[in-house]
Structure 1
Amino acid sequence: MFAQFLTPAYLPFAIAFVVMLGIGLIEGVGLGLGHFDLDADVAADGHAGVLDWLGLGGELPILIWLTSLLGCFTVAGIALQQGASALWGAPLAWPLASGGALLAGGLLNTVVANGLARIMPGFETSVISTEDLLRRRGTVLEGVARRGSPARAKIVDQFGQAHFVMVEPHNDTAVIPAGETVLLVRRHGTLFFALPDRDTLLQSI
């Protein structure tokens, strides 16, 4: 069976399975990449119903949802190829099998994702709005933050969940190097503006 899994007819599903394991490992070791604020502005755009249907409306972490989708795609693809082999003596060509598995796996994943959202209430209580990150401190991880040139920073919320955001200095002439602790003071879209802790205005905060 393992050798069959590596043949061209099954290769898309083998790749999906490996990616699923990799994402599961990332989520499992707690790198904090699983939570994205997908629900912050979708209501105004009228897409909330679509997210609900996909299983994302319940604040299910995106990496868990993606892992579920890859798993459903893999299972659907293997079942499709096994069925084709039983009926016609050979599996389908991989593009045809991939299309069918994507459709079947996507439908199956709506059920699985919504089920996971119901049995994982801990995520519903720990997911916060992007606005809640304001007035919290974080650390610039890499790059140098300048006006017009944001850097990546890590913010830990009140639940201990890490969020990774892009930050620029609040002051036009400020420069914030990697390793600097900052205070998020305002937001424009997905971009945050921060004051470095070395700023004398923050020493009493």
Structure 2
Amino acid sequence: MFTFFTADFNSAYSIALAIMLGLAMLEGVAMLIGLSLLSALDDLIPADLSVDSDAQITTPGLTSVLGWLGLNQLPLLIWLVLFLTSFGLTGVSVNYISLSTLDMLFPSSILFGFSFIFAVIFSKFWGRRLAKIFPKNESTAISSLDMQGLEARITVGVAKLNSSAEATCVDNYGQRHYVMVQPIEENQEFTAGTNVVLIEKQTNYWLVAKLN
């Protein structure tokens, strides 16, 4: 069985499972010394991952992708464990079944793509359910309301009425935030590269004005 797990055709999936076990062990050790990877890894995820479900987002960006994956609801460590476990077990299981029943292996590229897509869907589906048990820790140094008045730069899309664009800003603590923005005036449009000021926080986006 060990030879099967370490075979070349299972290397990607075995590595994924090994990383998963390593993360679990590191979290256990970190907890013994009063630390936690849950909070440390969450610092890698942009704060304020809110996606406006009502406004049209013309161009996909980092905010919408991470929000779709559920990383605004679940600690990154838990999501990684879900993804790596489902990815590794899917690849190993399919290889085992195909060898034992069909005496053949599926093409590695096809199986890798299938395992990856299945892991993403599995992590998104179960992550949203586990979010009720493992609420996401607040890792940002300031709240969303404290971001009022910060300068931001539009990175993806065109911001206009009922059409949010993605923007990035840095708070006084050096924490980077990715936010969705719309102009505060109806007749304005802000394209990528425009510098704006965060004026007022709405449910899922910020109203902004152009920085003079």
Q: Normalised by the size of structure 2, how large is the TM-score?
A: 0.53
Q: Deviations over 1:88-139 (max 9, x none)?
A: 212234333222211112211112211221222xx34x4254425xxxxxxx
1:63 matched residue in structure 2:
77
With over 3 angstroms needed to count, the CA separation of the structure-2 counterparts of 1:90 and 1:41, relative to structure 1, is closer
Higher relative contact order (CA 8 A, sep 6+): 2
2:94 matched residue in structure 1:
80
User: AA paired with 2:176?
Assistant: T
Q: Which residues in structure 2 correspond to 1:51-130 (within 5 Å)?
A: 51-58=66-73, 60-120=74-134, 123-124=135-136, 126-130=137-141
Is there any run of 5+ residues in structure 1 with no aligned partner, and where?
Answer: 133-184, 192-205
Identity level (%): 22
User: AA paired with 1:115?
Assistant: R
Is there any run of 5+ residues in structure 2 with no aligned partner, and where?
Answer: 31-35, 144-170, 178-212
Aligned counterparts of 1:10 and 1:86: Cα–Cα separation in 2: 15
1:4 matched residue in structure 2:
4
Q: How many pairs does the alignment contain?
A: 138
1:20 matched residue in structure 2:
20
User: AA paired with 1:4?
Assistant: F
SS at match of 1:118: coil
Aligned counterparts of 1:129 and 1:43: Cα–Cα separation in 2: 18
Q: Are 1:40 and 2:48 counterparts?
A: yes
Check conservation: 1:27, 1:63, Cα contact below 8 A.
no
With over 3 angstroms needed to count, the CA separation of the structure-2 counterparts of 1:93 and 1:128, relative to structure 1, is same
Aligned counterparts of 1:52 and 1:22: Cα–Cα separation in 2: 26
With over 3 angstroms needed to count, the CA separation of the structure-2 counterparts of 1:94 and 1:76, relative to structure 1, is same
User: AA paired with 1:95?
Assistant: S
Aligned counterparts of 1:186 and 1:39: Cα–Cα separation in 2: 14
User: AA paired with 1:131?
Assistant: I
1:186 matched residue in structure 2:
172
SS at match of 1:102: helix
Q: Normalised by the size of structure 1, how large is the TM-score?
A: 0.55
